[in-house]
Amino acid sequence: MLSVEDWAEIRRLYRSEGLPIKAIARVMGISRNTVRSALAAAGPPKYQRASPGSIVDAVEPRIRELLKEFPTMPATVIAERIGWDRSVRVLSGRVAELRPVYLPPDPASRTTYRAGEIAQCDFWFPPITLPVDHGQSRTPTKLPVLTMTCGYSRWLSAVLVPTRGAEDLFAGWWHLIDALGAVPRVLVWDGEGAVGRWRHRKSELTHDCQSFRGTLGAKVLICKPADPEAKGIIERNHDYLETSFLPGRSFTGPDDFNRQLTAWLAVANTRRKRALGCAPADRIDADRHAMLTLPPVPPVTGWKQSTRLARDHYIRLDSNDYSVHPSVIGRRIEVTADLARVRVWCDGALVADHRRAWAKHQTVSDPEHVEAAAALRHDRIALVHPSEDPEVQIRSLGDYDAALGIEDFDGTVA
């Protein structure tokens, strides 16, 4: 067989030196037919050994018959039907080669996202124990981290919120959207109780979610139950947070957790994604440009309630009691709270402002409110029980004798 070196030299002599076939054959010491074959070949010669055949060749016709009638029949069942007593690995390899002839291929679908089109949202529960205020700690089930990932750019946002309730969920959701600077046209959720559920083959949203999405002008889509692939991007990001953000970190509290998480996200969004061929930071501008603009008036989120302040001058919010200035006892007050602060208003005046407590069943008092309450109690006691006795007229004892008809010692009636 002609070697690759000889084949290359023949072509060089013919194309570069211009030697005729007869001269090349004389110089190389080979036949003229070999020279002609080398010049006509499209590529270099290579050794190909004849296939020795396979033990499956004898039963291939029977395999084809079964696959023609049952294209999806497993190789193990085929082995049983044809009485195969050799290695099933050899048989399954031939079945895999023959099956596409009788079964049309099933290519996997590839999901693509247009800029500004969609964002996936979910809760992530970090497997840590986080200390909170008043000496308490929270376990993973009580640490809801609200996450959001844009489909086109894979831009990841996240924030730890106090609870999964509607008040905190929508406050945290608006925090992420406001920080993003635009509103994705479609927002995808699992069947989160405060957002909605999949019912009667369609998304059924809560009243709070309808109000929230109406202000944003966006669509909220609830995934079908037991369909994690519908939110594969956000699920993979949860694994990414667990394996890249958490290891080697410790946290002093919720504020510290959010501070470290925000700093890490700023770096993570600049890392190259293999699926994109670039970093989320390289796509986020195009993603934002195609999204909806932020509403002129922010949606109503957080805790809002109106009540009349009782003599106790404390209001309860999320299992904790917060003091209010006692000067507005008996008057109508407006209580508002977000992820960080609890505020109370009366006729437009701020009468209480507390840092929101993450601990449970605590009483949070402002020293100014306690002093004001003590002063008001002192004034009230002084008003009802004055310290000086009032002047009272002292009647003569004779008046009582006359009223009762008692005679004096001389026999006369007083």
pLDDT confidence of residue 386: 62
Helix (H) / strand (E) containing 86: none
**Whole-structure pTM value:** 0.69
pLDDT confidence of residue 104: 80
Instruction: Look up residue 109 and give its amino acid.
Output: S
Binned at pLDDT 50, 70 and 90, residue 110 comes out as low
Lowest pLDDT segment from 69-73, 155-159, 174-178: 69-73
100 phi and psi, to 5 degrees? -60, -20
| pLDDT per residue as tens digits for the range 372-396 | 988 888 777 766 666 555 566 676 7
CA distance 260 to 246: 10
Neighbours of 186 (CB within 10 A): 15
pLDDT confidence of residue 345: 94
| pLDDT per residue as tens digits for the range 221-278 | 988 876 666 678 999 999 999 999 999 999 999 999 999 999 999 999 999 998 889 9
CA distance 249 to 259: 12
Q: Which is higher by pLDDT, 43 or 396?
A: 43
Q: Please, where are the H alpha helices in 359-407? A: 367-384, 397-404
Note the Cα 253 to chain centre separation in Å.
20
| pLDDT per residue as tens digits for the range 163-218 | 999 999 999 999 999 999 999 999 999 888 899 888 877 788 999 999 999 999 99
Q: Which residues pair with 341 in a beta bridge?
A: 355
| pLDDT per residue as tens digits for the range 44-62 | 888 777 777 788 888 999 9
Mean of the pLDDT values across residues 347-371? 93
Q: What is the DSSP string of 90-134?
A: HHHHHHHHHHHHHS---PPP-----TTSEEEEEEE--SS-EE-ST
Task: Classify 298 as helix, strand or coil.
Answer: coil
Binned at pLDDT 50, 70 and 90, residue 403 comes out as confident
pLDDT confidence of residue 414: 47
Query: How would you label 372-409 residue by residue, b for 16+ Cβ within 10 Å and e otherwise?
Result: bbeeeeeeeeeeeeeeeeeeeeeeeeeeeeeeeeeeee
Q: What percent of the chain has pLDDT over 90?
A: 60
pLDDT confidence of residue 52: 78
- Burial environment of residue 130 by CB neighbours within 10 A (0 to 12, 13 to 18, 19 or more): buried
Task: State the average pLDDT for the chain.
Answer: 88
pLDDT confidence of residue 390: 58
Mean of the pLDDT values across residues 146-160? 95
CA distance 276 to 115: 13
Answer whether residue 96 shows pLDDT above 50: yes
CA distance 209 to 146: 15
Strands (E) in 226-381, as ranges, are 303-308, 314-317, 320-323, 332-337, 341-346, 349-355, 363-364
Closest CA to 205 of 188, 228, 181, 180: 188
Fill in the DSSP letter of residue 410.
T
Mean of the pLDDT values across residues 348-375? 92
CA distance 238 to 339: 22
Fill in the DSSP letter of residue 352.
E
Q: Which is higher by pLDDT, 330 or 405?
A: 330
Q: What percent of the chain has pLDDT over 70?
A: 92
pLDDT confidence of residue 215: 93
* Alpha-carbon distances, residue 346 vs 307, 320, 332, 354, 371 (angstroms): 10, 20, 7, 15, 20
157, 176 Cβ separation under 8 angstroms = yes
pLDDT confidence of residue 109: 64
CATH code assigned to 118-290: 3.30.420.10
